Structure 1
Amino acid sequence: MKKKVKMPKENKRIITVLVALCSLLISLVIYISYFQVFKAESIKENSYNKRLWINEENVLRGSILDRNGKVISYSEKEDDKNIRYYPYGRLYSHIIGYSYRQYGKSGLEKEYNNELLDINETNALTEIKNLVLPKSVGNDLKLTIDHSVQEKSQSLLKGKKGSIITMNPKTGEVYSMVSMPDFDSANLDSEWKGIIESSESPLLNRSIQGLYEPGSIFKVITSVAMLETYGIDKNYLCKGKTTVEGYTFKDYGNGVHGKLDLKGGFKNSCNPYFVEKSLMIGKEKLGEVADKFMINKNIAFDLDVKKSKFDYKKAMGKTKIAASSIGQGDVLVTPLNMAMMVSAIANGGEMVKPILVKDVINKNGQTIKTNSTEILSQVSNNDAVEEVKEMMREVVVSGTGKNASIKNVKVSGKTGTAENASGKSHSWFIGFAPYDDPKLAIVVLLEEEGTTGGKGAAPIARDMLIHGLNNISFAEEKIDN
């Protein structure tokens, strides 16, 4: 029998150390590989990544202009430093954002950083080349924004929380997009502490990042779903309230409407009407139509947009289906998504992609990139869309949206009053004008305004439509107040 040879303690220690080192090496390789494969892009684009600033020293950042060529952000070289200027401070804080070494980047300054610095790609070789052979001037961005309409939006929303968006329903061009509260892009050094400590979230772009209960403006989607559902009796006797699984639904203000069809239910924004009809439609059909309006889907835009939500694929009781049909329950939307929704109705059912940056222009004045109109979906058949369009006209003529009416211009719209956790309702208005040839679509959201859409948001929409129709280049004749 052979005698077992014992391994010296020193050898055991060496093997233990080698195993430990190998384990660390393998862990490091896995760690680096993970970041290279899954995290490299997000880290590269992170606004706090100092490598992004290498080109800032060598390239004069391109300017940003409105649709008419007005310069709304630019850079100048002073004492061998490139200084970024925001002459309109708060007006474009959520669109342009900011570009500061100590605070990073946001808005278009972040999303179009490579274009503004004329960088085709970001890698080590490119960075070395830019250090050795630096470029002098970046590219300019020409926006679809109209400076005058942006100013009007800001003035009408001043002192409130919320969002105003105006856009062309046929082309998708965004003429104004204002979110309140805002901040001053030009004075971040003096305001930064107050901005990040504020409970009002001034850095939040409510137009694209805020998710809100839509209230009755969601009845546009419910109406389309009803019109697409064969065999639904559209008549109803409104007694002011209806009960579903022990929960009572009634109108804001406890109105009683009597005999109604779909047109009457929509015009008067009758909650009991839509609650009862939604149970006939069912959650699957309601969700299918919501998806066509880009709810539950990622919206491609020049800025990052949160996804609107209606989780109809999960188990839902009758109460949740009923609440969702009137824009409560499990429905949350962004103002931009609602601007696209109303634009699709105005545009005969074709939903177009929203555009904020129209052109990228190089230092020689040549357009090197253009964002063109793109149809995203056909939200419904022509008959259903035309019927909803007509009903929206009646809302402004003799329904809840009369405060949006304009002399000599046919305005169509829908009001919304959305309950939320704060106890103060959101006030909504969506609309478009002129009815026969829509040129301007609008969304007004007054966050926690505590009043109806007809009283709070509709008058603001009216003033915006008048200003836009008179001042955007498509205007042919002046609109009376």
Structure 2
Amino acid sequence: MKKTKEQIKREKEEAKFREEEQKRIEKEEKKKKAKHNREYAVVAYSFFTLFICIVGYISYFIFYESEKVIDNPYNKRIDNYATTVVRGNITDANGNILAYTNVAEDGTESRIYPYADVFAQVVGYTTTGKSGIESAENRKLLTSSSDIKEKLEKTRSSEKQKGDTVVTTLDAKLQQLAYNALGDNKGAVVIIEPSTGKVKAMVSKPSFDPNTLSANWDNISNSSDSVLLNRATQGLYPPGSIFKTLTTLEYLRENSGNYLNYSYDCGGSITHNNYTLACYDNTAHGHVDLKQSFAKSCNSSYANIGLGLNIDSFANLCESMLFNKNIDFDLDVKKSSFVLNSSSNTTDIMMTSIGQGETEVTPFHMALLAATVANNGVLMKPHLVERIENYKSEVVSSQGNEVYETLMSTEEAQIIQEFMEEVVNSGTGFRFNGSSFTVAGKTGTAEYSSDKNVSHSWFIGYTPTDGAQLAIAVVVEGGGANAASAIPVCKEIFNGYYG
């Protein structure tokens, strides 16, 4: 039957509709497929990114943090080394043994500390946990760097290998002198070689005998004297007038061209905004320049200086001088704190400028400051470990001397050196008069309670004045004003060292 025009037209329209519908369906399918592809791509990219992050995280620990993880004192796996290795020795720089393991005939091992409480906090202990060098160098002490043949022979015979020896930078003679000089006082002494950063002595008192620590643990750990605390690195104290070293440095930077023109007429106190700050014993120092202000430790003059400083710049200087920062060292060191900023009130500025207020420092940090001045502004990286040796005294690894940071210019350091010499020649360091050695430094009296009659006694400095060999920081808790206790400690140490 012949189709009518209407039928033909309708069929064409239907065919066109089916064609368009097919195209629409295909287009929708393409859209869905593209959407799915995007979703797959996002998932794939996410997994790829996650994979890269995991690889990066693992790589970071392998290449940058593995030593820290392995050496972490809480890594109990290291202690498993003790089943095959006898813990190695710790010695001073001259070979004097500071710690060794005694092995009895029945194989019982006991850790022995020949100097007893003299090195207690810095060398540390291995009973009831670990501390000091014993903790920091735990893995090395439990590692035997003997050759493979020897290790196999020891393994076959079930004989333990001898652990490596940690040779420290410490000097047993200096350490003993510092320990004796501090006497029955609470406090700390830190002595550093400015040109190398080697820590030669680190004493904290009161101390304890690590040989009997287990037996006396309850008494020692519960002592109100914080016997286990290494005051050299963990003790935080107001610095008192030794902080004037930094106030001086900031003034030099802000007035480099005319610091010699500074003058102040001290009447024994200064009043600003209804707050009065007095010099020690209300002493009127009269007309003083910057060097005399430093030598005589004139509080009024330094409060006056502080009021004229750019506080933001002062805060930046202190940050650059390692305040509010972690110090890279073999042992953990508490952060010294400096809290002034542009919104600080004038009373806080006056107090901080003389080393009071909320400023706190560790003796170790202050020894680094003295060493920096002595080394013409360059701080060498401080370190306690000189090298690691195997049982044959062959060097396994060593710590070279390297620059930690340049903290001040040579010119600035030399001005501070000149001022520190004046402290001893005509200022508050007069107790050094008649010594057989030359010394330069800064005294400090740090009040720490509402009772102004009690204060910590500070001295930081270096010896000799011509080519410093040793830099020192001494703090005597409750030691009194004008370094009345700190200088005699320092003097006794140097007399013994040079004698």
Conservation of the 8 A alpha-carbon contact between 1:48 and 1:104:
no
Partner of 2:124: 97
The 5 A counterparts of 1:32-71 are 47=73, 50-71=76-97
Residues of 1 paired with 2:72 and 2:323: CA distance?
28
User: How far 1:387 moved relative to its partner?
Assistant: 1.3
Residues of 1 paired with 2:435 and 2:211: CA distance?
40
Label 1:444 to 1:111 Cα distance change in 2 as closer, same or farther (>3 A).
same
User: How far 1:53 moved relative to its partner?
Assistant: 2.6
| One-letter amino acid of the counterpart of residue 473, structure 2 | V
Label 1:305 to 1:134 Cα distance change in 2 as closer, same or farther (>3 A).
farther
User: How far 1:422 moved relative to its partner?
Assistant: 7.1
Which moves more between the two structures, 402-411 or 63-72?
A: 402-411
Partner of 1:249: 277
Conservation of the 8 A alpha-carbon contact between 1:143 and 1:356:
yes
Residues of 1 paired with 2:363 and 2:355: CA distance?
13
The reply to whether residue 459 of structure 1 matches residue 488 of structure 2 is yes
Which moves more between the two structures, 165-174 or 331-340?
A: 165-174
User: How far 1:442 moved relative to its partner?
Assistant: 1.1
Residues of 1 paired with 2:300 and 2:70: CA distance?
52
Residues of 2 paired with 1:257 and 1:136: CA distance?
67
Label 1:186 to 1:282 Cα distance change in 2 as closer, same or farther (>3 A).
same
Residues of 2 paired with 1:437 and 1:354: CA distance?
19
The reply to whether residue 430 of structure 1 matches residue 455 of structure 2 is no
Partner of 2:357: 329
Conservation of the 8 A alpha-carbon contact between 2:71 and 2:137:
no
The reply to whether residue 72 of structure 1 matches residue 101 of structure 2 is no
Partner of 2:447: 419
Residues of 2 paired with 1:323 and 1:131: CA distance?
69
The reply to whether residue 392 of structure 1 matches residue 417 of structure 2 is no
The reply to whether residue 370 of structure 1 matches residue 398 of structure 2 is yes
Conservation of the 8 A alpha-carbon contact between 1:98 and 1:106:
yes
The 5 A counterparts of 1:71-220 are 71-78=97-104, 79-100=106-127, 103-118=128-143, 136-220=161-245
Identity among equivalent pairs (%): 37
| One-letter amino acid of the counterpart of residue 223, structure 1 | T
Partner of 1:240: 268
Deviation per CA, 1:291-311: give whole Å up to 9, x if none: 232222211111111111102
Label 1:463 to 1:363 Cα distance change in 2 as closer, same or farther (>3 A).
same
Partner of 1:402: 430
Aligned residue for 1:98, secondary structure, equals coil
Residues of 1 paired with 2:439 and 2:67: CA distance?
46
User: How far 1:322 moved relative to its partner?
Assistant: 1.6
Deviation per CA, 1:50-98: give whole Å up to 9, x if none: 5443222321111011111111110122222332111211111101110
Label 1:460 to 1:304 Cα distance change in 2 as closer, same or farther (>3 A).
same
Which moves more between the two structures, 422-431 or 69-78?
A: 422-431
Deviation per CA, 1:19-53: give whole Å up to 9, x if none: xxxxxxxxxxxxxx9xx999999997665665443
Label 1:316 to 1:384 Cα distance change in 2 as closer, same or farther (>3 A).
same
| One-letter amino acid of the counterpart of residue 448, structure 2 | N
Aligned residue for 1:444, secondary structure, equals strand
Conservation of the 8 A alpha-carbon contact between 1:418 and 1:425:
yes
Deviation per CA, 1:431-472: give whole Å up to 9, x if none: 1111111111111100122x114311112111212223x2xx
Aligned length: 424
Conservation of the 8 A alpha-carbon contact between 2:311 and 2:342:
no
Deviation per CA, 1:378-422: give whole Å up to 9, x if none: 222222221111111011011101112453532111100001137
Partner of 1:23: none
Runs of 5+ consecutive residues of structure 2 not aligned to the other structure: 1-53, 146-154
Which moves more between the two structures, 231-240 or 61-70?
A: 231-240
| One-letter amino acid of the counterpart of residue 206, structure 1 | R
Label 1:422 to 1:365 Cα distance change in 2 as closer, same or farther (>3 A).
farther
Partner of 2:387: 359
Residues of 1 paired with 2:433 and 2:216: CA distance?
40
Aligned residue for 2:229, secondary structure, equals coil
Conservation of the 8 A alpha-carbon contact between 1:411 and 1:434:
yes
Which moves more between the two structures, 232-241 or 428-437?
A: 232-241
Conservation of the 8 A alpha-carbon contact between 1:56 and 1:117:
yes
Bigger fraction of residues in helix:
2
Partner of 2:7: none
Label 1:436 to 1:309 Cα distance change in 2 as closer, same or farther (>3 A).
same
Larger Rg: 2
Aligned residue for 1:105, secondary structure, equals coil
Label 1:373 to 1:109 Cα distance change in 2 as closer, same or farther (>3 A).
same
Conservation of the 8 A alpha-carbon contact between 2:458 and 2:486:
yes
Conservation of the 8 A alpha-carbon contact between 2:81 and 2:143:
no
User: How far 1:132 moved relative to its partner?
Assistant: 12
| One-letter amino acid of the counterpart of residue 126, structure 2 | S
Conservation of the 8 A alpha-carbon contact between 1:361 and 1:367:
yes
| One-letter amino acid of the counterpart of residue 169, structure 2 | T
TM-score (norm 1): 0.83
* Superposition RMSD in Å: 2.6
| One-letter amino acid of the counterpart of residue 452, structure 1 | A
Residues of 2 paired with 1:462 and 1:413: CA distance?
12
Label 1:367 to 1:251 Cα distance change in 2 as closer, same or farther (>3 A).
same
Residues of 2 paired with 1:114 and 1:88: CA distance?
23
